[in-house]
Amino acid sequence: MKCFKLFSQGDHRWLAFGQDRSRPDSITDTVQVVVTAGNNTMLLDPGGIEIFPSMMGALVHEIDMETVRHIFLSHQDPDVGSGLALWRQVAAPGTVIHLAQLWTGYVSHFDAEAKFAPIPDQGGEVQLSGSVRLRLLPAHYLHSPANFCVYDPVARVLFSGDIGAAQLPGEKLRDIWVSNFAEHVQYMSGFHRRFMGSREARDAWIEMVSALAIDVIVPQHGLAFRGPDVRRFLDWFAELPIGSGLEAFGNRAARK
Ligand SMILES: [Fe+2]
Ligand SMILES: [Fe+2]
């Protein structure tokens, strides 16, 4: 499991973990993100049971596990947080799990003892240190019906969950950054067309994040966008035909 620095200023850091060569081919590749500031750390979509050992092995080189007081789950999927019970055993006692109110009863099937801070539909905030206050931004139906992103106005980093996700062949995974946006599109298109369920939600999300100062967008799969690629991604997503779902019905829908 590799570790990439997305932002670093004093004790305030954003790290991305992924591109694990020991990962079984059957498992979708994921990016695990970590924000640390002052004496507090938040794990963002720390991942499933299968990747827990390699993720934990990489994380302890960077973070004192006793500072892990927050875990954020963007939505309910197993690649996001099926390792929750394992993470709670190694994090600080009483670690708070930030998850959509809608999903807490379902995600409890991964870990009935988890202590949730349910996120209301409109979003919320988490004070990580004196100067770092993370914003939990609504991103519903992109793709989950209750789904959130995390924005750090000091680092100007947006964790976008499955928005911006890409599935790349192994030989393309050399760095964490998109280097050629036009070439990268082919690895995002299929996923966004199938998984993103609402054009109206997409448009509202783009309008919301376009008002923020963002230097980096880091999704939960694939590569991160920085500098001009942030706008390139938002413009590409804005124009993508998504959300009818009818293609998945094949000939049955085509006959109508
Ligand atoms: Fe997902
Ligand atoms: Fe995902």
Q: What is the mean pLDDT of residues 147-167?
A: 98
Distance 92 CA to ligand 2 centre (A): 25
Q: Which residue carries 């690895």 as its tokens?
A: 187
Nearest to 141 by CA among 80, 201, 203, 210: 201
What pLDDT digit, counting tens, does each position of 20-43 carry? Answer: 988 888 999 999 999 999 999 999
Question: Is the per-residue pLDDT at 170 higher than 60?
Answer: yes
Cβ-count burial of 238 within 10 angstroms (0-12 exposed, 13-18 middle, 19+ buried)?
middle
Q: What is the mean pLDDT of residues 52-72?
A: 97
Cβ-count burial of 131 within 10 angstroms (0-12 exposed, 13-18 middle, 19+ buried)?
exposed
How far apart CA 144 and CA 167 sit, in angstroms, is: 18
How far apart CA 30 and CA 141 sit, in angstroms, is: 20
Confirm if 236 and 185 have CB atoms less than 8 A apart. Answer: yes
Distance 195 CA to ligand 1 centre (A): 8
pTM: 0.96
In the prediction, which pLDDT does 243 show?
Answer: 77
Q: What is the mean pLDDT of residues 139-144?
A: 97
Q: At 253, is the pLDDT very low, low, confident or very high (cuts 50, 70, 90)?
A: low
What pLDDT digit, counting tens, does each position of 173-192 carry? Answer: 989 999 999 999 999 999 99
Token pair for residue 57? 């092995």
- What is the sign, positive or negative, of the torsion defined by CA atoms of 90, 93, 99, 101? positive
Percent of the chain with pLDDT over 70: 98
Distance 10 CA to ligand 2 centre (A): 30
Q: SS3 breakdown of the chain: % helix, strand, coil, rounded to 5? A: 30, 25, 40
What pLDDT digit, counting tens, does each position of 5-26 carry? Answer: 999 999 999 999 999 988 888 9
Distance 142 CA to ligand 1 centre (A): 9
Distance 144 CA to ligand 2 centre (A): 10
Total count of domains within the chain: 1
CATH number for 120: 3.60.15.10
What pLDDT digit, counting tens, does each position of 98-132 carry? Answer: 999 999 999 999 999 999 999 999 999 999 999 99
Distance 146 CA to ligand 2 centre (A): 14
Q: At 140, is the pLDDT very low, low, confident or very high (cuts 50, 70, 90)?
A: very high
In the prediction, which pLDDT does 255 show?
Answer: 54
Nearest to 149 by CA among 139, 157, 164, 141: 139
Distance 77 CA to ligand 1 centre (A): 5
Structural domain boundaries enclosing 49? 2-254
Q: At 252, is the pLDDT very low, low, confident or very high (cuts 50, 70, 90)?
A: low
Q: Which of the pair, 250 or 58, is modelled with greater confidence?
A: 58
Give the β-pairing of 96-100 and 157-161: unpaired
